Each structure stands twice: as structure tokens, then as C-alpha cells.
Amino acid sequence: MTLPASQVSEHTSGRSKPHAVVIGSGFGGLAAAIRLGARGYQVTVLERLDAPGGRAYVHKIDGFTFDAGPTIITAPFLLDDLWGLCGRSFSEEIDIRLMDPFYRIRFDDGKVFDYNGDADAVKAQIAKFSPRDVAGYDRFMEHSQAIFKIGFEQLGHVPFNSWTDMLKIVPDMITLGSHRSVYAMVSKYIKDPYIRQVLSFHPLLIGGNPFSVTSIYTLISFLERKWGVHSAIGGTGALVKGMVSLIEGQGGTIRYGAEVEQILVKDGTATGVRLKSGEAIAAPVVVSNADAAWTYRYLLPTEHRSHWTDQKIDRAQYSNGLFVWYFGTKRQYPEVAHHTILLGPRYKGLLDDIFKNKRLAKDFSLYLHRPTATDPGLAPEGCDTFYVLAPVPHLKGDIDWEKQAEPYRARIAKYLSETVLPGLEDEIVASLVTTPRDFQDRLLSYNGAGFSLEPILLQSAWFRPHNASEEVNGLYLVGAGTHPGAGVPGVLSSARVLDTVVPDASTYA
């Protein structure tokens, strides 16, 4: 489609640098904007919401500050890089703190496992449950390190544009046993069912079922040990705010309330975007940080798609949905760690209900976030800020969230009250619930999935939507649904791939 001169927005004219448009201001979109800005592009980020961050949006309610999504910050060097590209210092501008424990894991019978990056401390915890698994843990971590060296260091930021790129890594993948699931890999080294859960739940943090995602994701164990698990003072929102200030410092622009309706294409090449308002914005480089499935299904007309057809998008497997309840309490719970994982009575059975049967089970496993453990400034004095998250089926499950949300929230509140937050129901003074419906309607996430496409082997690397679109030239993808995948380190790495696949700005000068 050609743009009539009268419709071309002022944002496209009168600049000497070539224009790059980024659709969406999630971590992936912000990082892409910074990288393109550093390479000489004039960048405009278009965000449909009223503030940046996407899944890392910040809700402020009655003096409580709630980070909507990511809270576990790993691989901080990826953020450091972005500040460095702008000639600024991450450590001088952002205060991140190492967590200890990384997570407190509480089993349904009340047993507790404190997990951190200190090998001896973890082994002492394992010994409490299962002394015979201590040696297995060392061997598991060696394996995790080997996978990390290939999966993260060598492949995390390279584009998988062609089938031959994929073929090159097959021998390594076979050697590392990538065909196995995370749970199967952990079970090879560990016998105790409690410890198997402790070492295998990580894929849930990026939307994968430990019983089906490739064991490549066991690299997270080593990643966490090497760089630690951190939280930012001011919350994850402080990182988002910092990235926005980098973009603005480069002379880039972020427009809010700007929803892209269509990616414009001429002769097989992206030429810009059209907003819902009708405004057209021209750019030789278009980067979509919108959900990858949504980008192809709704933003790129069918006549420009031969690979990601509607049928293929529909048949793909999506990550789980998320039920998240943000709440503030009028008292503090100082004995509750910053990150607590409350594992329910069933492990595989619950995961089957979420990922396969797609039904809302009576039981749940929860992640409880208490950021005020690290930064009391996120709540009014004497109060605590929390969120609790339950993995649930995405919207292909037949769950009426209008009806189910409140009883489900109440069940979770009761469980928390009976376990780690005594008297909770009487202490709540702020409350907000989000369900997979909100992920679909607010974030435009296909099927309301929490983390886009599920990271199974046949939806990873070359099999995932490519960072340089396989459909049209000049279109690039960053974020959870493209390579390497979800999670803050994943989406920051997807933006790093752009350095390889987006041409130099001089190409368009």
C-alpha cells in the first residue's frame, strides 16, 4: 500500500536520520529502540497503552506501587549494555539488590526450601530433604552450565534466519539432550520428588510446562547462579523508566495511546504503519514488539503472509495464562521473603490441567511477591505491597473469567491466610485482579497467553517467528514470541539480534 502524501504524518518528514518505528514499549521494544537509536536511527515507539512497560506496566493504587509483571531480574549485564550504548552508567542510575534467598519455596505440607546462588547453601538445603541427591545436584549444575554456554552465550543473540542455521546446532543439541524435557533432565540427576520440583519449576517463569519444554531451559539454573537474582529499588518500573529516559536522551520519541492497526507493505517491503486513528507513519524499518502471533494475525494482512498463515497461528501451542492478584495490606508481614513460591499438592497433575486439559483446577501453585521486603517505599508506611500469581489455562480453555475471577481470588486469599499471610482477608486495603482476558484485551496477547508461544522444541530458534520477518522485508520482531523467547533476558536478547539483522542506518541515508 502506498501512502498518499496528505496522510503521511509529520513524524516522517524533515529528518536526516532514517526513521525506525517500534510497535510496543515492552522490555523488548524499549531495548530495540535504544539499540536502533545508538546505530543512528531516528526512533518512534508507538504504544497503545497510556504508559510504557507492557507486561512490566506499573499500577499505582492508593499509595501502593504494583509492578504488573516481571520481578525476578536476572542477567543484569544485558541492561548494563543498553546504558553503555548511550554513554551512561546503569549502576550509577539504577539501584539493584541481590536477593537472598532467590526464592523461598514452600511445599504444601509446610516444608520450606531456601534457594540461592551459593552452591554450599543449596546443598545444605538439599541434604535436609535428600542427602543422596547432593552429588546429583553438582552434576546437574555442570550440565546446566554446559547448556548455558551454548544455549545462552552462543545462540541467544544470533538470528535463526535459515534452516541451515538450525542444522548447525543439531549436533550440540543432541549431545546436550535437548530432546528431553526439563523435568526429565532434572530427574536424570535427582531422585527426590521435592528437589525435582525445586530444580524444574523455572520454565514456568517463561510460560513453559517443565514436563514438555526442552531441557535447554535448565540453563536458567546456571544463569541465576552466575549473575544472581536481583530486584530494583523503585521496583521493575524503575528499569522501565530508566530505559525510557535513555530513548529520550537519544532524541527518540515514545507516543502513548497510539495503537498500530496495520503494517504497511509495498512490493514485499514494509513501508511504515497505520494507526487506529488513521494516521500513517512512514519508516523503512518497522520493529514489532507486539505479540508475534498477534502481529501476524492482525497487523499484517493475509496477502503478505505465506508462512504464518491464520491456520498455522491457530494451530501453534501457546504458553499458559496468568491470574494475577495485586493487593496492599494495612499491616506488614516481615517474615515473608521477597519471592515465595507456594507449591500446591499436585505437580504434574496440576500442570496437565493447565497446559493440556485447560481446566481451572481446584488446587493451585502460586508465586507470591512482596517487593516491600526490599523497598518499603513501594507501600504507604506500615503497609505491604504484594502480588500473587497463579498459572492458569490460556483462553482456549473454557473458563468464564467474569464469573470465576472473584471465587478464584477468594480461594487464593483463604489459602494465603491459612499459610503465610495470617489474617489476610481483614488486612486488604487495595486490590486489583487481572486474568487472561486482560492479557488479550489490554496487551493484545493471542489467546490471552502470559508469555506468547510456548517454548517447546518445535517452537524454538528457527521454528519460532524469526527476528527478521520471513514474510516481508524491513519488518523485524522482538519480544517474547520471537527468538530466543520470553522473560526479561530473553526479550532483551531478541533486541540484541537486531544489531545483526537490521541494516546500518547509512543504507537508508
Ligand X SMILES: Cc1cc2nc3c(=O)[nH]c(=O)nc-3n(C[C@H](O)[C@H](O)[C@H](O)COP(=O)(O)OP(=O)(O)OC[C@H]3O[C@@H](n4cnc5c(N)ncnc54)[C@H](O)[C@@H]3O)c2cc1C
Give the residues lining the site for ligand X (CB under 6 A). Answer: 23-29, 46-49, 54-56, 69-72, 205, 259-260, 289-290, 322, 324, 389, 443-444, 450-451, 479-480, 486-488, 491
CB of 488 to ligand X, least distance (A): 3
Burial 418-439 (b: 16+ CB within 10 A, else e): ebbbeebeebebbebbbbbbbb
Cβ distance to ligand X smaller for residue 247 or 486: 486
CB of 21 to ligand X, least distance (A): 10
CA-to-CA distance for 234 and 96, rounded, in angstroms?
Answer: 9
CA-to-CA distance for 429 and 328, rounded, in angstroms?
Answer: 6
Of the candidates 296, 324, 321, the one whose C-alpha atom is nearest the C-alpha of residue 310 is: 296
CB of 368 to ligand X, least distance (A): 12
Neighbour tally for 255: CB within 10 Å: 15
CA-to-CA distance for 397 and 314, rounded, in angstroms?
Answer: 14
Cβ distance to ligand X smaller for residue 190 or 243: 243
Number of helices followed by number of strands (H, E) in the chain:
16, 19
CB of 239 to ligand X, least distance (A): 10
In total, the chain counts a number of residues equal to 509
Contact (CB, 8 A) for 360 and 393: yes
Cβ distance to ligand X smaller for residue 126 or 221: 221
Cβ distance to ligand X smaller for residue 144 or 189: 144
CA-to-CA distance for 289 and 262, rounded, in angstroms?
Answer: 14
CB of 448 to ligand X, least distance (A): 11
CB of 292 to ligand X, least distance (A): 9
CB of 106 to ligand X, least distance (A): 18
β-strands 428-434, 321-329 pairing:
antiparallel
Phi, psi of 465 (to 5 degrees): -50, 130
Residue 403's H or E segment, with its range, is helix 401-418
The owner of cell 549494555 is 81
Cβ distance to ligand X smaller for residue 465 or 487: 487
**Cα 381 → chain centroid:** 31
Contact (CB, 8 A) for 154 and 171: no
Contact (CB, 8 A) for 99 and 339: yes
Cβ distance to ligand X smaller for residue 23 or 190: 23
CA-to-CA distance for 83 and 258, rounded, in angstroms?
Answer: 26
Cβ distance to ligand X smaller for residue 25 or 250: 25
CA-to-CA distance for 403 and 408, rounded, in angstroms?
Answer: 9
Cβ distance to ligand X smaller for residue 47 or 427: 47
- Cβ within 8 Å of residue 411, ≥6 positions away: 362, 364
CB of 163 to ligand X, least distance (A): 25
Cβ distance to ligand X smaller for residue 389 or 392: 389
Cβ distance to ligand X smaller for residue 308 or 451: 451
CB of 25 to ligand X, least distance (A): 5
- Cβ within 8 Å of residue 174, ≥6 positions away: none
CB of 94 to ligand X, least distance (A): 16
